[in-house]
């Protein structure tokens, strides 16, 4: 099965230029995403995945979003990553642990990072790529690493990590002697890669993560340049006729002449085209390192990539997967035709963002890739602040979305080293092409899981639009539709009509429209719904606390507080554990208003902290009942 094929084509959604996404709306989305990602963390510091890589990815995303290194979520994640990555063999886990620990920048992690890098180098396939597994560390090596990482140890002839040169200035001789010996073994090709599927055919998904980790690894004095140059060769050889890259190229396929029929999983995909571009870029960075090492007094600080036909062709093809922004700029309502995102679309967005920021590209195919992606991400953020595609359970989709929105660049030193590259535009079909092999047509790539929004659905988890049968329904939803299209200055009158006009149709319309508005409009509509609910009886509000729609549950909780219905506190306490963050927060606010107390939980509370807060509220209520 092709892992990154697209169900629907969404590029070219708007022909007219549009202003950038409002920065305040992006910041709001990031804040909500961070709170949601923290909430997913388990008590032991992990995120819900069998491999430690998911935890490293979440920790990396939080750091890139400005969460302090001393934050409990980060310290717990770091502890778990250190414990488990020391014996990790999975390529994803090894590479993401390297990226997370490098971003933490704790000198005591140096021995572990060195070991992870050596294992990554040992896992490189002869063709230049990576598959799922790399060699593991031997028991004596694990013991040595733990000893070196112990900040309380008394030095007895060992390295003093505090006296190592700064990152980026380290050389091979600064590495532990044991690491230097392991590198010699790898260089001679003596590593036993027969176990654990290490010699399986490489795939470009594992390979693109390894690519970035190799670039980061050179800062520690580990000589990764040869491996990165092999990567450049690998991606140059495996580029498809349309300029893109596929998920996998078998050894047999790699031996085929260019232009031969490609059996199996050979179609170009959007995310894998990003992987190929990233591989070519780090290859150039590694070549620059080699030039610097050989330069004798000559200043060499830039690598001209303007003549790399592979980079140009890949970008032209990638442009077919990038759409144009619709104009969600914070001064008007959310566009109603933002594509729905699911599947592997969030994985693609981080792949796209990595390539664009590393290559210093503000546009791809003359299209504002960031505003386009940001609109889709904001339009698909769930009510609890998370994003949900194929990797939602582990928090990976939320991590990918946050890294995109923050324009995370883990290779700024590569960005500063590359010169001569400009946006080549979108591929035009013509004779010739990559390698001059007579290209007759180019694929139109689209990110997997990104498709048009279906009738009756919203992308934010709000109420499904009902069939409009009665005159009242048609009138109410006409107001809602007008509200979606209205400018900020025209919202007040429309929201007032939805708030004050009697009839259940107007309640349905107001609930529905919340998910269709931008951040500012959503706040106004939510306030209106809560005010509308203050006209309801307590028995009805109690029922609404169990409604299937989160916006209804949220508004009911706030209305209970406004009506001072203290007898419904037990129902509100149950809502503190609601699966939707907006409901849990509203229930917390309502309880504080009714009781004058605050037993929590905080927005970023762990499951254990949330459980304790609920128990404390229940204890308080029992005391109230007795009195």
At 152 the three-state DSSP class reads coil
Better-predicted residue by pLDDT, 223 or 261:
223
Helix residue ranges, H only, 563-606 = 569-575, 581-595
Q: Which among 49-53, 97-101, 465-469, 470-474 has the top mean pLDDT?
A: 97-101
- DSSP 8-state secondary structure symbol assigned to residue 6: -
The tokens describing 326, both together, are 């619709």
Mean residue pLDDT across the chain: 83
Q: Residue 122: which of 208, 210, 56 has the closest Cα?
A: 210
Better-predicted residue by pLDDT, 465 or 456:
465
CATH code for 23-152+166-257+265-451?
A: 1.50.10.20
DSSP notation for 270-287: HHHHHHHHHHHHHHHHHH
CATH classification of 471-626 is 3.40.30, yes or no? no
| pLDDT tens, residue by residue, 518-539 | 667 888 999 999 999 999 999 9
Better-predicted residue by pLDDT, 586 or 602:
586
d(CA 240, CA 231): 16
pLDDT at residue 105, rounded to an integer: 93
Helix residue ranges, H only, 319-424 = 345-358, 369-380, 396-405, 412-415
Q: Is the pLDDT of residue 329 over 80?
A: no
Contact status, residue 473 vs residue 507, Cβ threshold 8 Å: no
DSSP notation for 66-102: T--TTSHHHHHHHHHHHHHHTT--BHHHHHHHHHHHH
The tokens describing 104, both together, are 């933490």
pLDDT at residue 610, rounded to an integer: 84
Q: Where are the domains of the chain?
A: 23-152+166-257+265-451, 471-626
Non-local CB neighbours of 306 within 8 Å, separated by 6+ positions: 419, 420, 421
Q: 248 falls in which pLDDT band (50, 70, 90)?
A: confident
Q: 256 falls in which pLDDT band (50, 70, 90)?
A: low
d(CA 211, CA 202): 13
pLDDT at residue 195, rounded to an integer: 44
| pLDDT tens, residue by residue, 116-145 | 999 999 999 888 999 989 988 889 889 999
Angle at 317 between CA 314 and CA 318, to 5 degrees: 85
pLDDT at residue 499, rounded to an integer: 93
Q: 261 falls in which pLDDT band (50, 70, 90)?
A: very low
H/E stretch holding 446 reads: none
pLDDT at residue 11, rounded to an integer: 31
Which sign, positive or negative, has the C-alpha torsion 146, 147, 148, 151?
positive
pLDDT at residue 520, rounded to an integer: 76
**pTM of the predicted protein model:** 0.69
| pLDDT tens, residue by residue, 161-219 | 888 888 878 888 888 888 888 888 888 765 544 444 455 678 899 999 999 999 999 99
d(CA 142, CA 149): 11
């Amino acid at each position: 099965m092709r892992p990154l094929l697209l169900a629907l084509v969404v590029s070219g959604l708007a022909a007219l230029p549009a202003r950038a996404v409002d920065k305040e709306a992006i910041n709001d989305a990031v804040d909500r995403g961070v709170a949601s990602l923290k909430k997913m963390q388990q008590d032991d510091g992990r995120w819900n995945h069998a491999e430690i890589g998911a935890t490293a990815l979440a920790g990396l995303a939080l750091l890139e979003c400005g969460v302090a290194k001393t934050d409990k979520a980060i310290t717990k994640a770091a502890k778990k990553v250190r414990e488990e990555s020391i014996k990790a063999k999975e390529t994803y886990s090894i590479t993401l642990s390297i990226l997370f620990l490098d971003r933490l920048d704790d000198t005591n992690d140096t021995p572990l990072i060195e070991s992870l890098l050596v294992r990554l180098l040992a896992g490189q396939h002869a063709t230049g790529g990576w598959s799922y597994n790399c060699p593991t560390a031997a028991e004596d090596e694990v013991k040595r690493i733990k000893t070196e990482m112990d900040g309380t140890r008394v030095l007895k002839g060992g390295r003093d990590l505090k006296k190592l040169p700064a990152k980026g200035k380290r050389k091979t001789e600064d590495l532990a002697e044991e690491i230097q010996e392991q590198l010699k073994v790898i260089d001679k090709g003596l590593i036993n890669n027969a176990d654990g599927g290490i010699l399986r055919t490489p795939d470009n998904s594992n390979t693109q993560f390894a690519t970035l980790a190799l670039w980061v690894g050179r800062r520690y004095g580990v000589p990764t340049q040869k491996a990165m140059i092999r990567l450049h060769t690998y991606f140059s050889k495996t580029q498809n006729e349309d300029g893109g890259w596929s998920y996998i190229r078998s050894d047999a396929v790699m031996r085929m002449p260019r232009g031969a029929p490609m059996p199996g999983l050979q179609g170009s995909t959007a995310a894998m085209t990003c992987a190929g571009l990233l591989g070519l870029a780090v290859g150039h960075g590694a070549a620059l390192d080699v030039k610097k090492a050989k330069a004798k007094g000559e200043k060499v600080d830039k690598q001209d990539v303007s003549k790399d036909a592979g980079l140009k062709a890949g970008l032209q093809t990638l442009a077919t997967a990038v759409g144009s922004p619709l104009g969600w700029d914070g001064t008007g309502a959310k566009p109603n035709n933002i594509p729905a995102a699911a599947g592997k679309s969030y994985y693609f967005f981080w792949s796209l963002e990595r390539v664009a920021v590393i290559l210093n590209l503000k546009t791809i195919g003359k299209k504002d890739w960031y505003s386009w992606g940001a609109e889709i991400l904001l339009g698909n953020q769930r009510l609890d602040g998370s994003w949900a595609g194929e990797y939602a359970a582990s928090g990976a989709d939320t991590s990918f979305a946050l890294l995109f929105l923050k324009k995370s660049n883990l290779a700024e030193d590569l960005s500063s080293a590359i010169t001569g590259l400009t946006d080549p535009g979108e591929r035009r079909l013509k004779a010739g092409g990559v390698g001059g092999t007579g290209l007759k047509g180019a694929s139109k790539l689209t990110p997997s899981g990104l498709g048009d929004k279906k009738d009756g659905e919203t992308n934010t988890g709000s109420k499904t639009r009902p069939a409009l049968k009665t005159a009242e329904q048609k009138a109410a939803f006409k107001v809602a539709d007008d509200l979606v299209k209205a400018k900020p200055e025209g919202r007040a009158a429309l929201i007032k009509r939805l708030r004050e006009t009697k009839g259940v149709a107007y309640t349905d319309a107001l609930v529905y429209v919340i998910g269709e508005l931008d951040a500012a409009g959503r706040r106004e509509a939510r306030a209106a719904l809560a005010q509308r609910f203050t006209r309801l009886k307590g028995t009805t509000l109690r029922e609404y606390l169990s409604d299937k729609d989160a916006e209804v549950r949220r508004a009911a909780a706030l209305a209970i507080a406004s009506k001072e219905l203290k007898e419904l506190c037990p129902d509100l306490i149950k809502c503190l554990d609601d699966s939707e963050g907006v409901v849990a927060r509203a229930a917390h606010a309502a309880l504080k208003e009714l009781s004058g107390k605050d037993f929590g939980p905080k927005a970023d509370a762990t499951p254990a902290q949330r459980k304790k807060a609920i128990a404390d509220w229940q204890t308080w209520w029992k005391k109230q009942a007795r009195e």
